[in-house]
Amino acid sequence: MFYQLLYSQSHHAGVLNVFRYITFRTFLSFFTAFLVCLFVGPYFISTLKRRHFGQTVRDDGPQSHKKKQGTPTMGGWLILIGVALPVLLWVDISSALVWATLIVMFGFGLIGYWDDWLKVSKRNTKGLKGKVRLLGEFTISVLVIGYLVWNDHIPMYVSVPFLKGVMLQMGWGYVIFASLVVVGCANAVNLTDGLDGLAIVPVMISGTTMLIFCYLAGNLKISEYLAIPYIPGAGELCPLAGAVIAAGMGFLWFNSYPAQVFMGDVGSLSLGGFLGILAVISQNELLLVVLGGVFVVEALSVITQVISFKLTGRRVFKMAPIHHHFELKGLDETKIIVRFWIISILLAVLSLATLKLR
């Protein structure tokens, strides 16, 4: 919004013409978000401590986590605060795609906040009932994606990665499918958020990859050359994605081991929803399974554990999600975290490779 005011004065000062470029605004958005988080972070964390918004650790979790009891949670608000200012300064908020992404991100964040608040106020790990949480997430997703489809902002088909020109036509069933992608991604990120810095870095890596996909999908000539769906206006999501990535980096400044603050559900659900809606808008719903492989494996480990225990009374893993299994196997927490980061980078490179393989 603010950039439009500067750009309108470009006839007086030609240098202001630079604000019309998405790439330039993405860099500005990135550094603005990081600096906001860096400066607001200490005050934000001290406020959480003063109000006793501390993490409640599972009784059945790894014993090494007992020392994390009481660490401030709801740190996801720091990420959302870091995103808010650059959005107002450097993002075109008249864009329907931008609004769709913001509604999903902040809507899921509010659901996560409700969940966190119940955990903090009742001093337990149960929080919001799963059915209520899923109902809220699906309602937001269906309304947002239904609006985008109804107004022809996104097509009603799914692109198949690795296959050139293969599109799965789904009609209005696409709204349900895409909503499942968004909700599934949000909850997969939520399950991954169990160690210091484990979730935020894969989110940043996936977000950077999605930023690239959105830029390419929003450029007619490049999208035609690469044989990917052209989504008008998708490029405007780049400054927003840049803000989220940088806000995540600012949060990591305080969340790296040993963590001074945890993101909580307000952070994991909002970031997961953000990745999910970017995948939908850029027509990379299926590719998200590859790109977000770390999140997928974490979610599948929980599903496998639950099904196995209910059917056979036995557990496949020592504990789910799978990062706890590795902890109980004797791996150091930081080693698990860094290896998951490495895997995320490899999956991001593989996802980008599909641009020339399709």
The chain-wide mean pLDDT, for the chain, equals: 91
Confidence of residue 58 (pLDDT cuts 50, 70, 90): low
Helix 264-281 with 96-122: angle, nearest 10 deg = 160
Q: Quote the pTM value.
A: 0.94
Six token digits for residue 147: 């609006």
Which residues neighbour 283 within 8 Å (Cβ) at sequence distance 6 or greater? 154, 155, 157, 158, 159, 217, 228, 229, 231
Convert the pLDDT of each residue in 151-169 to its tens digit. 999 999 998 887 777 788 9
User: Which percentage of the chain shows pLDDT scores above 90?
Assistant: 73
CA distance 315 to 322: 12
Confidence of residue 17 (pLDDT cuts 50, 70, 90): confident
The more confident residue out of 313 and 110 is 110
Q: Of 347, 295, 345, give the one whose Cα is nearest residue 323.
A: 295
Examine the pLDDT at 64 and tell me if it is beyond 60: no
Amino acid in position 300: L
CA-CA distances (angstroms) from residue 18 to 4, 10, 24, 25, 272?
Answer: 11, 9, 7, 9, 32
Six token digits for residue 256: 């790296």
| Stretch 117-123: mean pLDDT | 84
Q: Of 306, 326, 324, give the one whose Cα is nearest residue 316.
A: 306
Domain ranges of the chain: 19-158+168-283
CA-CA distances (angstroms) from residue 141 to 104, 135, 173, 176, 237?
Answer: 7, 10, 13, 9, 18
Task: Tell me whether residue 241 is exposed, middle or buried, using C-beta atoms within 10 angstroms of its C-beta: 0 to 12, 13 to 18, 19 or more.
Answer: buried
Vertex 125 angle, CA 120 and 121, to 5°: 20
The phi and psi torsions of 242 (rounded to 5 degrees) equal -60, -40
| Stretch 222-249: mean pLDDT | 95
Convert the pLDDT of each residue in 169-220 to its tens digit. 999 999 999 999 999 999 999 999 988 889 999 999 999 999 999 999 999 9
